[in-house]
Amino acid sequence: MSKMIGLRDLRENTDTYIDRVSEGESFVVFRRLKPVFKITPPEDEQWEELIDFTKLKKGGIEIKDLLSHLRKIRNEQNQQSAKKAARQRKRSN
């Protein structure tokens, strides 16, 4: 069963609650006597690492560089999708 805590208590003791949640506890967080959200440990313990930015550059990378790289990837994907759609249209004609 979830324990009830106040939002202020959570803000003031975040590290403590992180430790407790990582040990399996759940909490319902209240603000002005109303429940606003629930904190629970993740159900699936198998998380996949998508990217570790510290592997790209020691200490991580600047946000502007990250956004630039993500835009480049998105543009490449859009171009690939457009080419695929053009090939499909050509086949159907």
What's the pLDDT score for residue 45?
67
- Sign of the C-alpha dihedral, residues 19, 25, 30, 33? negative
What's the pLDDT score for residue 8?
96
46 found inside a domain: no
At residue 52's C-alpha, the angle toward residues 46 and 58, to 5°, is: 150
What's the pLDDT score for residue 67?
87
pLDDT tens string 27-82: 999 999 999 999 999 887 676 767 776 777 777 778 888 889 889 989 999 999 99
pLDDT tens string 10-40: 999 999 999 999 999 999 999 999 999 999 9
Partner residues linked to 4 by β-bridges: 28
What's the pLDDT score for residue 63?
83
Instruction: For the chain, give the mean pLDDT.
Output: 87
Q: How many domains does the chain have?
A: 2
47 found inside a domain: no
Give Cα separations from 53 to 50, 59, 72 (angstroms). 10, 8, 17
Indicate whether 59 and 35 sit together in one domain: no
